[in-house]
């Protein structure tokens, strides 16, 4: 069966898959293209390499060194963020930036330069990476940092796995003194209210994010601000996740179930403040393993856009188009990105506002909606997140990533992906 990405969209299989366990090993000498495969949490095709070779990196999962004084960790690139949390939270250390799932590898987090709810203060994952080793298909190994091979460092962070194989990484962890997050919840209605709340919350909270009901005629949602709690409790165990057992031939997600879910979620009793474990705060979807199977065999798309702050009004048109289409998601996430520059040439964030939504794959109507959204986002000077994408045009990608030409010379001639062939050829 073809390896699918997180969106479970039908894909052609790779010709062979190899498991990588030894970071000192040489890359295979074959005449097909290569691509690292982390933990398959990218929604679209950045991690797929149809008809060619995938190098599974999860076997490179060793911790190498840890400096208890500074929190600097060296580990192999196939280590999962969840494994870092398991070992280091009890010692009082946390990830400096974590995406909405902890089941991603360190290599995958660098290749997509992932962001979190603290982007307004902390920037992207890459901002906290000190060094890594990059193995190229010509056998060369480069240590890359902001001071050594800085151009390779910038190309590989957010480089979508195209510059070679990252074998090990040195990154910073951050101090915590409790597993709890103090959360402040506020219901809002309309985008003006969201932006007003956001301005205040970003000054007060380390983490901010909003959930919005994109099917309502006036966008409404719940704004969350969060901060680590210094309660000294580092041993609180997260609940054991449930698992969705199988992929159904049809999707359980439809207009009716979405509307009902969104209504109930918006109206549920809401404590203004509460303290929760970090796991449900950062990783609500990790509570149900394989939740992506809910969408059935046809899979689903995620559409994540960012708009420059000056063009945030375009969000109204985006949400109007989604609501009018009757398609949309029960987890639309709205968040602003701050000014801290990403180190990567192709990093997705820019100062502005980002919206992420899931859409069941209904074929032509879904793709037609995306084309309408692309036109709005493109005209506003925004762009889409490659980690979530499976269908944007090459023309849109090339136009919206202004540093692409600086990046191109760093692509390893033996590395490729379905995404790269779609948008770069």
Ligand X SMILES: Cc1cc2nc3c(=O)[nH]c(=O)nc-3n(C[C@H](O)[C@H](O)[C@H](O)COP(=O)(O)OP(=O)(O)OC[C@H]3O[C@@H](n4cnc5c(N)ncnc54)[C@H](O)[C@@H]3O)c2cc1C
List of residues contacting ligand X (CB under 6 A): 6, 35-42, 46-47, 57, 77, 99-101, 104-105, 107-109, 111-112, 114-116, 160-161, 165-166, 285, 387, 417
Identity of the residue, 19 or 233, whose beta carbon is nearer to ligand X in the bound complex: 19
Cβ closest to ligand X, residue 105 vs residue 251: 105
The nearest distance, CB 291 to ligand X, in angstroms, is: 8
Question: Residue 329: which H helix or E strand, with range?
Answer: none
CB 272 within 8 A of CB 320: no
Provide the minimum distance between the beta carbon of 13 and ligand X in the complex, in angstroms, as a whole number. Answer: 15
Q: Tell me the helices (H) and strands (E) count for the chain, helix number first.
A: 12, 20
The DSSP code sequence of 198-244 is HHHHHHH-SEEEEEEETTSSS-EEEEEEEEE-------PPPPPPEE-
Compare residues 187 and 290 and give the one whose CB is closer to ligand X. 290
Q: Which residues pair with 183 in a beta bridge?
A: 226, 274
Closest Cα to residue 74, out of 61, 65, 86, 62? Answer: 65
286: Cα separation from own chain's centroid: 13
Tokens of 38: 């982390």
Shortest distance (Å) from residue 197 CB to ligand X: 20
Tell me how far, at minimum, the Cβ of 109 lies from ligand X, in Å: 6
Q: H/E/C letters for each residue in 78-131?
A: CCEHHHHHHHHHHHCEECCCCCCCCCCEHHHHHHCCCCCCCHHHHCCHHHHEEE
Rounded to whole angstroms, the Cα distance separating 196 from 306 reads 19
Q: How far is the CB of 364 from ligand X (least distance, A)?
A: 25
Shortest distance in whole angstroms from residue 408 CB to ligand X: 16
CA-atom Rg of the chain in angstroms: 21
- Calculate the CA dihedral of residues 327, 331, 335, 341 and round it to 10 degrees: -90
Which is closer to ligand X, CB of 63 or CB of 234?
Answer: 63
Other beta carbons within 10 angstroms of residue 143's beta carbon come to 14
* Tokens, residue 139: 């056998």
Q: How far is the CB of 306 from ligand X (least distance, A)?
A: 11
Q: Which residues contact 405 (CB under 8 A, 6 or more apart)?
A: none
The smaller minimum CB distance to ligand X, of residues 118 and 366, is found at 118
107 or 328, CB closer to ligand X? 107
CB of 285 vs ligand X, minimal distance in Å: 4
User: Toward ligand X, which CB reaches closer, 290 or 372?
Assistant: 290
Question: Which of 112, 137 has the CB closer to ligand X?
Answer: 112
* Closest distance to ligand X from the beta carbon of 68 (Å): 26
Nearer to ligand X, 26 or 375 (CB): 26
Kindly state the DSSP code that residue 170 receives in the 8-state scheme.
E
Instruction: Report the alpha-carbon distance of residue 280 to residue 239 in Å, rounded.
Output: 9
């Amino acid at each position: 069966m073809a390896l699918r990405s997180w969106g479970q969209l039908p894909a052609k299989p790779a010709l062979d898959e190899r498991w990588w366990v030894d970071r000192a090993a040489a890359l295979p000498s074959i005449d097909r293209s290569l691509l690292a495969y982390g933990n398959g949490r990218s929604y679209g095709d950045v991690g797929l390499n149809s008809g060619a070779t995938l190098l599974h990196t999860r076997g490179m999962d060793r911790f190498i060194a840890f400096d208890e004084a500074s929190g600097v960790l060296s580990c192999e690139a196939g280590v999962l963020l969840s494994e870092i949390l398991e070992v280091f939270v009890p010692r009082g250390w946390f990830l400096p930036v974590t995406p909405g799932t902890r089941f991603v590898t360190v290599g995958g987090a660098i290749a997509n330069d992932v962001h979190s709810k603290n982007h307004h203060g902390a920037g992207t994952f890459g901002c906290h990476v000190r060094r890594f080793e990059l193995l190229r298909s010509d056998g060369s190994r480069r240590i890359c940092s902001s001071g050594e091979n800085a151009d390779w460092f910038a190309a590989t962070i957010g480089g979508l796995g195209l510059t070679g194989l990252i074998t090990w990484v040195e990154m910073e962890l951050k101090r915590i003194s409790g597993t709890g997050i103090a959360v402040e919840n506020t219901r809002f209605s309309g985008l003006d209210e969201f932006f007003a709340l956001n301005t205040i919350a970003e000054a007060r909270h380390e983490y901010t994010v909003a959930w919005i009901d994109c099917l309502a005629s006036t966008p409404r949602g719940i704004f969350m601000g969060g901060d680590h709690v210094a309660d000294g409790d580092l041993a609180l165990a997260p609940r054991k996740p449930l698992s969705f057992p199988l992929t159904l031939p049809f999707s359980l997600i439809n207009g009716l179930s979405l509307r009902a879910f969104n209504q109930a979620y918006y109206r549920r009793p809401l404590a203004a403040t509460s303290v929760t474990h970090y796991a449900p705060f950062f990783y609500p979807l990790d509570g149900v393993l394989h939740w992506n199977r809910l969408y059935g065999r046809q899979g689903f798309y995620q559409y994540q856009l960012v708009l420059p702050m000056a063009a945030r009004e375009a969000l109204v048109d985006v949400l109007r188009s989604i609501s009018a289409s009757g398609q949309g998601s029960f987890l639309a996430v709205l968040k602003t990105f701050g000014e801290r520059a990403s180190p990567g040439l192709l990093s997705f964030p820019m100062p502005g506002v980002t919206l992420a939504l899931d859409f069941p794959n209904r074929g032509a109507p879904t793709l037609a909606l995306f084309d309408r959204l692309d036109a709005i986002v493109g005209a506003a000077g925004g762009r889409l997140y490659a980690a979530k994408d499976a269908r944007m045009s090459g023309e849109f990608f090339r136009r919206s990533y202004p540093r692409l030409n600086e990046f191109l010379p760093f692509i390893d001639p033996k590395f490729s992906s379905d995404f790269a062939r779609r948008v770069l050829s």
